[in-house]
Amino acid sequence: MLRVKELTGGYGATPVVRSVSFEVEAGTMLGILGPNGSGKSTLLKMLSGLLPADSGKVEIGGRSIAEYSRKAFARQVAVLPQLQADTFSQTAYQTVALGRYPHQTGLFAGWSDADERAVQKAMDRMGVTKYRDTEIEFMSGGERQRVFVAQALAQEAPVLLLDEPTNHLDIAHQQQLLDTVRRQATENGLTVVSVFHDVNLASLYCDRLLLMDRGEVAAIGTPDEVVDERKMERVYAARVRAGMHPEVPKPQITLLPAKEPEDRQEIIRKANFSVSREYVHLNSRIPLMAVSSAVFGAGAGWYRHFVNRKVDADYSTDDAGTEMRDWLDESGFPLTQTVAMMTAAMTEDAVIGEYGPPDAPIFICVTAGVGNAVDASLGTDRDAYAGTINTWVIVNGHLPEEALIQGMITATEAKAKAMQTEHVLDPLTGTVATGTSTDSLLIAATQRGIRYPYAGTVTELGKAIGRGVFECTAEAIRRYRKRKANLERESR
Amino acid sequence: MKKIRQRKTKQPAAAYMVSAAMLLLALWLGVSVGSVKIPFQVLVNPEADEVAANILWNIRMPRVVLAGLVGGSLALAGAAFQGLLKNPLADPYTLGVSSGASVGAVATLFFGIGLFGAYTLSIFSMAGAMAVLLLVIGFARAVDRSLKMETIILTGVIFGSFLGSVLSLMIALTGEELRQIISWLLGSVSMRGWKYVWMILPFLLIGGLLLWLCRRELNAMLFGEERAHHLGVDVRKRKWMILGGGSILTGSAVAVSGTIGFVGLVVPHMTRILWGSDHRHLLPLSFINGASLLVLCDLVARTIISPTELPVGVITSFIGAPVFAFIFYRQRRKGAARHA
C-alpha cells in the first residue's frame, strides 16, 4: 500500500511536483499520465527515493520512505526502468539474480535456496528461462525488457513502480508486458504505479489514473472519469475524441488530425449509382461512414463501394459471408472498402430517389421482394422464403452516431408504413406485414458539409429519410408486383 | 563495454584453476630464468647450491613477488574503475591516477617529508592518486554529465600530461640526486628487496578488501547508478569505497614500482572476455592474472636485451597500447553502427 501526502519537490528552487496526494491500494494499479514536462517522471523519482522531497511524504506499508535503509527499501519497492542502454554484458540469469541483492544482508551472505527459487520463479513468469545463459546485449528490446521485469519481480517487493515500461516496445510486447504486470497486481496483490505516455494503454490496464498538469494533480479517478475529452484536450492541448474500447468497458481516445480544407465538390450524386442485372453499385471517391446490417462489411466503418447483389431465388450456401467475399473478390471489389448485401429481387427494379437540398442531396435506394412478408408484431414461426427489402440511405452531410441511429429508426418506420399502404400481407397470419424476414438497412454519410445533429422524424433530415424511404419502398413493391404479374401471365 | 562477451560463470572453478596454474608457472619462470639458471631442487633444498639459493631468495624471489603484487593491484584497480565508470578503457594509467600517485610520491622526496615513517611514500602516493581521481571524474562530469568513455579518457590524458610536467619540474629543480627517479618513473621492480614487498602488502589487503566488499554492488552498477539505487545499493557509500580502494591499490603500487601502464586495462579486459563480467569472480581473477602478466613482463624486461635491463613499463606499454587502440576501435565502430 502506497500513500502520498502533499508531496512537493524537484531539482531546483522551483518545485517540479507541487502538493500531490494520492493512495494506491494493494492489488490495484495506478497510472500516472500527463504531457511532457508535467512532472510525472519526477514524481516517480520521488516515490522511488531517488529524489528527496522538499515537503510532504511518501508512506509505504504505513512507514515513511525516509525511515527505510536502502536495502530495506528495495525489499519494499521494485522499480522497472525504461528500456536500458547496454552496458558491460551480463547473462539473463545474472541480471535477474541481481534482483536478490536487497535480500542478501550481512557481510558473508551467500546465495540461498530462497534466492534461487525467487529467480527461477521470476524468470519462468516472464518466459525468459530459455535465455538463462544468453548475454542480454544480444537480446531484442522486448526480451531484454522482460529480463528487467523478471529482475524487478525477483526483488519480491510488494510495491512495483514502472517508468513508461512500454517505451520502444512493439505492440505485442507492450501487451505481454502489461498483461503480466496486471496479473501481478490482481493475483499476487502487488501495488503497482506506472508512468504512461500512452493514454489508451493506461486506461486499458489501470484501475485508477492520475493526470498531472504542470506539476499538479489535474484529475484523479477511474479511467472513465479521467479519460475525458475535455480534460484531455485541456491538459494535453491536443484535439481528441473519446470513445469506448470495443471489447472492454474502458475509454480510449483518438487523435483528430488537423482538418484539411474540405473539398466542397466532393459529394455523392445520382451518377455515382449504377444498376445492372447482377447488382446495384454505389461508387464513392471519398469513403463514407456507414452503419449497416449487410452480409459483408456489416457494422460501422468507412467504405467506398456499396453493393446490392442479385442472387437466385434458390441461392443457398452454408456460409453466405465467405461466399459473398469470394464473389466480391472475383468481381474486382476492394474487400476492405466494400459493404455488400444480397437480394433475390430483380436489381434492375431498384428505385433510387433523390431528396433534401439539391446541392447536397440525400439518396434512398430500395430493392424489394415481398415473397416472405412478415408481420413482426405476431412473431409467428415460419419457413424462410426468398424476398427481401434492402434499403440504403446515403446522406451528403455530417451525422453523429445518434443521428445515424435515429435515421435507422425513421427509415424502418417509413418502410413499415409503405408495406401498409401497399397492403402487403403476411401470408401466414393474413395481417399487414411490417417487412420481410431478411431485410437489410444501410445508412451512410460523407461526414462533411451540412451538419445534421438529429435524424428524428420531425427534423429536416428525418423528413427527407421518412418521405424518401416511404416513396421508394412503395414504388419498389409496385415494381416487384408488376414483374411478378407479368411473369405469371407469361407462364399461363 | 558493449562487445565484452559473457560466458557462463556457473563453473568458475575452472577459471581459478587455469589462472592459478598460469601464476605458478609464471612465478617459477620468473625465479628460475636469468643469467644464472636456478634448478628446481634449490627451491626445496637450499643446501644443494648455496649461491643459487641466495640468488633465488634474496634477489629473484622478492622481485618476482613484488612484480606479482604490483601487477595484481593494478589489475584489480583497473577492473574496479572499469566497472564503476562503465568504461572499458579506464585503468589507473589512462585515468591519470598513476601520474597523481607519482607526483605524491616524488613530492615526499622533494620536500623530504617523513611523516609516516616507512609508509610515507605509499600514503602520499595514495593521496595523490585519490585527489587526481576525484579531479578527473569531477571535471569529466562537468564537461558531460553522461560521462562518455572518450570524455573520461581525454580528461585523464589532460591531467596526466599536466602532472607529467609537474614531475619534470620537480626533478629538474632537485638536480643530480633525483636522477634515479627517472628510471623509477618508467616503472620497474628491480633491486627492491623484501622491504618493498612489506610496503605494498598491507595496502593491497586493505584496498583489495574494500573492493571485494563491493563486488555485488559493482555488478549492480554495471546497469547504471540509478538502477543500482533501485536494486537497493547505497550508491554514494559504495562509490567512495570503490574509488578509495582503487586509489589505495594504485598509490601503493606506484610507490613501490613507479608508473607501470596498461596492466589495469589489459588484464580485466582479457579476463572478462574469457570468463565474464561478474565481479565476484572478475576481481580475484583479474588479481591473479595481473600478477602473472607483470611477472612475465618483468622476466622479458630483464632478459630480452640482457645484460641490459628494460624498465618493465616499456614492455607493458608495448602490449597495452595496441590493446587500448583495439578496444577503442571496436567500441567506436559498435557505437557508430548503433547510431546509424
Q: Are A16 and A9 in contact (CB under 8 A)?
A: yes
- Mutation to test the B interface, candidates A45, A65, A84, A88, most B Cβ within 10 Å: A88
In the predicted model, is pLDDT for residue A373 greater than 80? no
Q: How far apart are CA A34 and CA B137, in angstroms?
A: 36
Here the cell at position A445 is 454519410
Amino acid, res. B84: L
Here the cell at position B227 is 538502477
Which single residue is written with the C-alpha cell 632478459? B303
- Selecting from A48, A90, A135 the residue whose C-beta is nearest the C-beta of B230 gives A48
- Selecting from A69, A102, A107 the residue whose C-beta is nearest the C-beta of B231 gives A102
For A283-303, what is the mean pLDDT? 92
Q: Are strands A29-33 and A208-213 parallel, antiparallel or unpaired?
A: parallel
Q: Are strands A159-163 and A2-9 parallel, antiparallel or unpaired?
A: unpaired
DSSP calls for B271-328: HHHHH-S-HHHHHHHHHHHHHHHHHHHHHHHHHTTTTS---HHHHHHHHHHHHHHHHH
Which single residue is written with the C-alpha cell 418502410? A415
- Picking from A151, A169, A141, A142, the residue whose alpha carbon sits closest to that of residue A92 is A151
Per-residue confidence (pLDDT) for residue B133, from 0 to 100: 92
Rounded (5°) CA angle B89-B262-B170: 110
Q: Under an 8 A CB cutoff, do B222 and A90 touch?
A: yes
For A66-79, what is the mean pLDDT? 93
Query: For residue A372, how many C-alpha atoms fall within 13 Å in the half-sphere facing its CB?
Result: 17
Which single residue is written with the C-alpha cell 554492488? B217
In the predicted model, is pLDDT for residue A260 greater than 70? no
Per-residue confidence (pLDDT) for residue A82, from 0 to 100: 74
Q: How far apart are CA B209 and CA B244, in angstroms?
A: 11
Q: How far apart are CA B167 and CA A21, in angstroms?
A: 60
The answer for B 73-112 residues in CB contact with A (under 8 A) is 82-83, 86, 88
Q: How far apart are CA A215 and CA A213, in angstroms?
A: 5
Per-residue confidence (pLDDT) for residue A486, from 0 to 100: 86
How many C-beta atoms surround the C-beta of residue B73 within 10 A?
A: 32
Q: Under an 8 A CB cutoff, do B226 and A133 touch?
A: no
Q: How far apart are CA B113 and CA B180, in angstroms?
A: 18
- Selecting from B1, B6, B216 the residue whose C-beta is nearest the C-beta of A90 gives B6
**Any bridge partners for residue A208, and if so which?**
A30
Per-residue confidence (pLDDT) for residue B9, from 0 to 100: 46
Per-residue confidence (pLDDT) for residue B183, from 0 to 100: 66
Q: Under an 8 A CB cutoff, do B222 and A101 touch?
A: no
**Any bridge partners for residue A76, and if so which?**
none
- Selecting from A48, A70, A86 the residue whose C-beta is nearest the C-beta of B233 gives A70
More confident site: A390 or A259: A390
Tens digits of per-residue pLDDT, B89-147?
888 988 999 999 999 988 887 787 777 777 888 899 999 999 999 999 999 889 887 77
Q: Under an 8 A CB cutoff, do B226 and A98 touch?
A: no
- Picking from B183, B187, B180, B181, the residue whose alpha carbon sits closest to that of residue B312 is B187
In the predicted model, is pLDDT for residue B242 greater than 90? yes
Tens digits of per-residue pLDDT, A332-347?
999 999 999 999 888 9
Per-residue confidence (pLDDT) for residue A380, from 0 to 100: 59
Q: Under an 8 A CB cutoff, do B233 and A91 touch?
A: no
In the predicted model, is pLDDT for residue A383 greater than 70? no
> Measured between CB atoms, does B277 come within 8 Å of chain A?
yes
Per-residue confidence (pLDDT) for residue B11, from 0 to 100: 66
Per-residue confidence (pLDDT) for residue B87, from 0 to 100: 85
Average pLDDT, chain A: 88
In the predicted model, is pLDDT for residue B1 greater than 70? no
Tens digits of per-residue pLDDT, B35-82?
888 888 887 887 878 888 888 888 899 999 999 999 999 999 999 999
Q: Under an 8 A CB cutoff, do B6 and A94 touch?
A: yes
DSSP calls for A426-440: -TTT-SBP-EETT-E
- Mutation to test the A interface, candidates B231, B282, B331, most A Cβ within 10 Å: B231
Tens digits of per-residue pLDDT, A192-247?
999 999 999 999 999 999 999 999 999 999 999 999 888 888 999 888 888 888 88
> Measured between CB atoms, does B245 come within 8 Å of chain A?
no
- Contacts with A128 (C-beta within 8 Å, 6 or more apart), sequence order: A92, A96, A143, A146, A147, A150
Rounded (5°) CA angle B169-B171-B176: 140
B248 — pLDDT class (breaks 50, 70, 90): very high
**Is residue A249 classed as helix, strand or coil in its secondary structure?**
coil
Q: Under an 8 A CB cutoff, do B227 and A84 touch?
A: yes
- Selecting from A73, A89, A94 the residue whose C-beta is nearest the C-beta of B232 gives A73
Length, in residues, of chain A:
492
Q: How far apart are CA B156 and CA B158, in angstroms?
A: 5
Indicate left, alpha or beta for A354 from its phi (over 0: left) and psi (-120 to 50: alpha).
Answer: beta
pTM of the model: 0.76
Chain B environment of A98 (Cβ under 8 Å): 216, 219-220, 223, 231
**Any bridge partners for residue A78, and if so which?**
A160
> Measured between CB atoms, does B224 come within 8 Å of chain A?
yes
> Measured between CB atoms, does B330 come within 8 Å of chain A?
no
Q: How far is A140 from chain B (nearest CA, A)?
A: 13
B12 — pLDDT class (breaks 50, 70, 90): confident
Between A27-41, A178-192, A419-433, the lowest mean confidence (pLDDT) is in A419-433
Chain A environment of B222 (Cβ under 8 Å): 87-88, 90
More confident site: A279 or A429: A279
Q: How far is B295 from chain A (nearest CA, A)?
A: 28
Which single residue is written with the C-alpha cell 536495502? A71
Chain A environment of B82 (Cβ under 8 Å): 88
Q: How far apart are CA B203 and CA B245, in angstroms?
A: 9
Q: How far is A152 from chain B (nearest CA, A)?
A: 8
In the predicted model, is pLDDT for residue A370 greater than 80? no
- Selecting from B224, B233, B234 the residue whose C-beta is nearest the C-beta of A87 gives B224
Chain B environment of A46 (Cβ under 8 Å): none
Per-residue confidence (pLDDT) for residue A381, from 0 to 100: 56
Chain B environment of A69 (Cβ under 8 Å): 234
> Measured between CB atoms, does B4 come within 8 Å of chain A?
yes
Tens digits of per-residue pLDDT, B140-176?
889 887 777 788 888 998 999 999 899 888 888 877 6
Q: Under an 8 A CB cutoff, do A89 and B83 touch?
A: no
Compute φ and ψ for B305, nearest 5 degrees: -120, 40
Q: How far is A108 from chain B (nearest CA, A)?
A: 9
Tens digits of per-residue pLDDT, B298-324?
999 989 887 888 888 889 988 888 988
Q: Under an 8 A CB cutoff, do A98 and B220 touch?
A: yes
Q: Under an 8 A CB cutoff, do B229 and A88 touch?
A: no
Per-residue confidence (pLDDT) for residue A291, from 0 to 100: 94
For A282-287, what is the mean pLDDT? 92
Q: What percent of chain B has pLDDT over 70?
A: 92
For A74-94, what is the mean pLDDT? 80
Per-residue confidence (pLDDT) for residue A491, from 0 to 100: 74
- Angle, helix A171-188 to helix A141-154, in steps of 10 degrees: 10
In the predicted model, is pLDDT for residue B4 greater than 50? no
Q: How far apart are CA A380 and CA A378, in angstroms?
A: 6
> Measured between CB atoms, does B227 come within 8 Å of chain A?
yes
Chain B environment of A86 (Cβ under 8 Å): 1-2
Q: Under an 8 A CB cutoff, do A107 and B277 touch?
A: no
B7 — pLDDT class (breaks 50, 70, 90): very low
Q: What percent of chain A has pLDDT over 70?
A: 94
- Picking from B256, B209, B304, B248, the residue whose alpha carbon sits closest to that of residue B66 is B256
Alpha carbon A468 to chain centroid, angstroms:
34
Q: Under an 8 A CB cutoff, do A89 and B6 touch?
A: yes
A384 — pLDDT class (breaks 50, 70, 90): very low
Chain A environment of B88 (Cβ under 8 Å): 88
Through-space distance between the first and last CA atoms of chain B, rounded to whole angstroms? 19
The answer for B 283-312 residues in CB contact with A (under 8 A) is none
- Picking from A348, A439, A356, A456, the residue whose alpha carbon sits closest to that of residue A391 is A439
Q: Under an 8 A CB cutoff, do B230 and A78 touch?
A: yes
Q: Are A81 and B226 in contact (CB under 8 A)?
A: yes
Alpha-carbon distances, residue B331 vs A433, B218, B279 (angstroms): 82, 21, 21
State the count of interchain CB pairs (< 8 A) between A and B: 88
Q: Are B69 and B254 in contact (CB under 8 A)?
A: no
More confident site: A90 or B281: B281
Per-residue confidence (pLDDT) for residue B217, from 0 to 100: 93
Which single residue is written with the C-alpha cell 574494500? B210
Q: Are A365 and A320 in contact (CB under 8 A)?
A: no
- Picking from A396, A82, A456, the residue whose alpha carbon sits closest to that of residue A263 is A396
> Measured between CB atoms, does B232 come within 8 Å of chain A?
yes
Q: Under an 8 A CB cutoff, do B219 and A99 touch?
A: no
Per-residue confidence (pLDDT) for residue B79, from 0 to 100: 96
Q: How far apart are CA B287 and CA B289, in angstroms?
A: 6
Q: How far is B213 from chain A (nearest CA, A)?
A: 8
Here the cell at position A159 is 510495491
